[in-house]
Structure 1
Amino acid sequence: MHRRTALSVSTALLLAAPLLSACSGEARPGTAAVVGGERITTSALQAQVNDVRAAQNRAGQAAAELIASTPNLERQKLDSILQSRIIDEMARTAGLTATQKDIEDERKAYVDENGGAEQFEALLLQKGAMAPGQVDRFLRDRVLLTKLSAKYGNGKLEEPARAAVQALNIEVNPRYGAWDAKQIKLGVGETPWITQRTRPEQAPAGA
Structure 2
Amino acid sequence: MHRRRRTALLLSAAIAAAPLLTACGSDAHPGAAAVVGGQRITVAQLETRVNEVRDAQRAAVTDDAQYAQAIAKTGTLTRDTLHGMVLDRVLHRAAEDAGITVTRKEIQTMRAGLEQQAGGAKGLETAWLQQYGIAPERLDDNLRLQLEAQKLAAALGTDTSQPAFWAALSKASKELDVDLNPRYGTWDVEKSSRVDAKTPWVREVTASGTRQTA
Q: Report the TM-score range of the alignment, normalised by the length of the smaller protein.
A: 0.7 to 0.9
State how far apart, in whole Å, the 1-side matches of 2:155 and 2:192 are. Answer: 22
Q: 1:205 is matched with which residue?
A: none
Q: 2:101 is matched with which residue?
A: 97
Q: Which runs of 5+ in 2 are unaligned?
A: 197-214
TM-score by length of 1: 0.80
1:51 deviates by 0.7
TM-score by length of 2: 0.78
1:110 deviates by 1.1
Deviations 1:55-105 (A, max 9, x none): 111121332211111222211110110111111011110111111001111
1:58 aligned counterpart, secondary structure = helix
Q: Could you tell which deviates more after superposition, 7-16 or 55-64?
A: 7-16
CA-atom RMSD in angstroms: 2.4
CA contact (8 A) 1:52 1:129 kept: yes
Q: 2:180 is matched with which residue?
A: 172
State how far apart, in whole Å, the 2-side matches of 1:79 and 1:13 are. Answer: 8
Assess, with a 3 A threshold, how the Cα gap between structure 1 residues 186 and 118 changes in structure 2: closer, same or farther.
farther
Q: 2:45 is matched with which residue?
A: 44
What amino acid maps onto 1:110 in structure 2?
L
Assess, with a 3 A threshold, how the Cα gap between structure 1 residues 120 and 76 changes in structure 2: closer, same or farther.
same
CA contact (8 A) 1:121 1:132 kept: yes
What amino acid maps onto 1:28 in structure 2?
H
Q: Please say if 1:157 is aligned against 2:159.
A: no
Q: Percentage identity across aligned positions?
A: 38
Count of aligned pairs = 188
**Structure possessing the higher relative contact order (Cα contacts under 8 Å, 6 or more residues apart):** 1
2:27 aligned counterpart, secondary structure = coil
Q: Please say if 1:34 is aligned against 2:22.
A: no
Deviations 1:107-135 (A, max 9, x none): 11111111111111111111111111111
